[in-house]
A and B are shown apart, each in its own frame.
Chain A
């Protein structure tokens, strides 16, 4: 029972699908951020796995940068969230429809 690359990729895909469910299902902005983090992490796993199985460090580098970006995204995102919350007193996605076409 050797664990191969495909195992990791399938795992990554499942996590990604969970993330997608979260992204689509959640109506709360904060929860949406959670779901996004799941998506990012799902991808990170596949990067790390590919990096490992091909003996190439590029994947790990990518993971590194993805984490960095995720961190800054959270920082800015939360800031915006707070501003929004201060202004509208909620963080419900259904209330955010100023971009109606």
Chain B
């Protein structure tokens, strides 16, 4: 019963948050609601007994990813409304709803799931984190390491890409210098 209440509550909350995230024209609203949605999602992980994932979700999304987003948004003028030309809404909504309906149809079909066998069954009596660790460091060791390398690469890539011309700082420059720079290359900064 508790589980059901929790599920519906968080389901409502996530849907609402994400709905705001995709519809609002305020970047800050979108960012905030996205972050909230992410955290609510972690609730599902906890309900499902995937404690480790829940923790990861919070750490990564609300911590790292959101920080990154916020960082990114600082570059742009977030106070401004995001102007978006709206296309044909019917198509967008229609396509989304149809695909959702189809996916539901597929997953609801009893043909799926009747004959699935657990490849790495959950060990009784061990905590979720422990289980995850066991599988992760045995069967998935190589992908895990590769993922680590990938993250490192992504980090470096992010720094390199975003860090071009980082050495100039607008705050340390006086007006004349900024004007001069704008003359030279109008596209550098907004």
Per-residue interface assignment for chain A, residues 29 to 42, with 1 indicating a CB less than 8 Å from any chain B CB and 0 otherwise: 01101110110010
A5, A8, A25, A54: the one contacting B22 at CB < 8 Å is: A25
- A55 x B161 contact (CB < 8 A): no
Number of residues from B at the complex interface, CB < 8 A = 89
B36 within 8 A of A: no
- A8 x B121 contact (CB < 8 A): no
Distance (Å) between the CB of B116 and the closest chain A CB?
A: 5
CA–CA, A43 to B42, complex, Å?
A: 13
Within 8 A of B (CB), among A52-72: 52, 54-58, 60-61, 63-65, 67-72
Within 8 A of B (CB), among A70-101: 70-76, 78-83, 85-89, 91, 94
| Interface of B (DSSP majority class) | helix
Distance (Å) between the CB of A87 and the closest chain B CB?
A: 6
- A72 x B153 contact (CB < 8 A): yes
- B34 x A65 contact (CB < 8 A): no
**Which residues on the B side are within 8 Å of A27 (C-beta)?**
84-85
| Interface of A (DSSP majority class) | helix
- B189 x A79 contact (CB < 8 A): no
A16, A34, A49: the one contacting B48 at CB < 8 Å is: A49
By Cβ-Cβ distance, the 5 closest A-B pairs, closest first, are A79-B161, A72-B154, A22-B22, A17-B100, A75-B158
A-contacting residues of B (Cβ < 8 Å)?
A: 1, 3-4, 7, 11, 14-15, 18-19, 21-23, 27, 30-31, 34, 37-38, 41, 44-45, 48-50, 52-53, 56-57, 60-61, 64-65, 68-69, 71-73, 75-76, 82, 84-87, 89, 91-93, 95-97, 99-100, 103-104, 107-108, 113, 116, 118-122, 131-132, 135-136, 140, 143, 147, 150-151, 153-155, 157-162, 164-165, 186-190
